[in-house]
Amino acid sequence: MYKRIKIIFVSLSFIISIFFVLKFYFSEDNIIKTNKFRSIYALESVTDINYLPILKNDTNNIITYKDDIEIYKKKRKKYFWEKLI
């Protein structure tokens, strides 16, 4: 009997908490506040972008190309059946 009451209490409290969270999340007040903060953040980010310094490009000739495949082909052991192809 005690175990059944405990299960009912836990289930009921879980369902009630989910209900209140969803009620708050989908309320008009929360949606309005969320949109307001998003628009404020968008405006602040646009003004912050205007004050960023432009850096000089220093990435010229960084990539070095190697012929690793050609070196591997020359060093590896050749088999008889490869000559047949």
Please write the tens of the pLDDT for every residue from 2-11: 899 999 999 9
- Average pLDDT, stretch 23-46? 91
Task: Give the C-alpha separation, 43 to 37, whole Å.
Answer: 10
Our count of domains for the chain comes to 1
pLDDT category, 85, cuts 50, 70, 90?
Answer: low
- pTM for the complete prediction? 0.47
Task: Give the C-alpha separation, 48 to 40, whole Å.
Answer: 12
Residue range(s) defining the domain that contains residue 75: 2-84
Task: Give the C-alpha separation, 77 to 64, whole Å.
Answer: 27
For residue 47 the two structure tokens come to 């003004």
The pLDDT tens digits of the residues spanning 35-54 come to: 999 999 888 887 788 888 88
